Amino acid sequence: MKKYLLLLLVAQLSFGQAGAPANPYYNGMNWTLTGINLKSALATKITTTHTITLTYAQAELAIETVDLDPSDATNTNLLLLYGFSNNLCPASSSDDKDHRRRDKSLEDAGTADPCLWNKEHTYARASGVPALGTSGPGADVHNLRACDKKRNADRDNDRFFDGSGNSFESGLLWYPGDEWKGDVARMMMYMYLRYGSQCLPTSIAQSGIPTVTNDSNMVQLFLEWNAEDPVSQYEDNRNNYLGNTSNTYAQGNRNPFIDNPYLATVIWGGPAAENRWPTVFLSSQSFISDSAVQIYPNPTNTNEIEIATEESISKLTLINVNGQIVKEIIKPIFNQNTYKINNLPQGFYFLQITAEKGNLTKKIIVN
């Protein structure tokens, strides 16, 4: 029992510290949705909350804040996308040997000096249909990263393909590097949801690579990268800054796939990515039908509900909108295929149902 309680406490702490639904950003989201329905709901969320449109100059200033190296206490060095040694610049306190960092003051101003950083449009501007330009999607900081000037030029408009090790080019294809492939995948997913057909994943990835079953625009490669390279503190810092409208160069919206990479798994399937909201999504890809479980009354005015199902239920977990477990019932005993939960406080809840055949989440309203 002590071990169980400790594990539960750790899970709750992890949930709160590493990607619980940002309150109130995700308030009102229906987490019972899956597949393309969830994709559409998230697309609406990140579009309607994108309330501040930055100019190209403002986006550049934003990069000098959001791309700071979290391990640098001086707040002077930027992490560089794709970065590793290009043998062009001497190692120094502001430009370390593998060229992952660069002093934020060393911004490219159009000179021939290669030891500078500039903006990388991770979804290349020319790959958009129409091209992204320098406003709107072309100035969306969720897609922009500080990058070594030479590495940026090497990548140019290359499409992404699979590889290993450091970033490298092969013909007109580009591998972002083991350290950065997850970042790239989550950015491509964001751009697809935010700008739709203008930023199709199939237009920025190697031609002919497999797509997913339920969405011919999404390539399996990005789902693999999303699972293989978990979210870093650097990504969290960017997301938190850009989503907070009180910040000088914020946009108001977030990248949901940074908040929880598992959202991509729920939408498109593929390898199970890191699930940062374990009390919202069970880490399983088996689901029982929504019609297999009935909840009534819902909404309820009596502080109680009844659950009716013929499925074999092993656990019921009631979660509030802040991700806190309100009730957890192990091996509930059903009477004539029904089970009653009473003494429910007023509020909005998610009921996770764990069954032998799979899992299901339903929303509950207690008036």
Domains delineated in the chain? 30-268 (no CATH), 290-366 (2.60.40.1930)
Q: What is the dihedral of CA 84, 85, 86, 89, to 10 degrees?
A: 120
Confidence check: pLDDT of 364 > 60:
yes
Question: Residue 1: its pLDDT value, please?
Answer: 27
Q: What's the pLDDT score for residue 20?
A: 54
Identify the weakest region by mean pLDDT among 25-29, 226-230, 254-258.
25-29
Lowest mean per-residue pLDDT among 131-140, 159-168, 317-326: 317-326
Q: What is the pLDDT of residues 321-347, one digit of tens each?
A: 666 788 999 999 999 999 999 999 998
First to last CA, the chain: 35
Q: What is the pLDDT of residue 85?
A: 55
Contact present, 137 and 130 (Cβ < 8 Å)? no
User: Predicted confidence band at 100 (pLDDT cuts at 50, 70, 90)?
Assistant: confident
Whether the pLDDT of residue 191 is over 70: the answer is yes
pTM value is 0.75
Calculate what percentage of the chain has a pLDDT beyond 90: 64
pLDDT over 70 at 282, yes or no: no
Which of 129, 222, 131, 136 is CA-nearest to residue 184? 222
Segment 106-118, tens digit of pLDDT: 888 887 777 889 9
Mean pLDDT calculated for residue range 193-201: 98
Q: Nearest to residue 274, comparing CAs of 236, 321, 217, 324?
A: 236
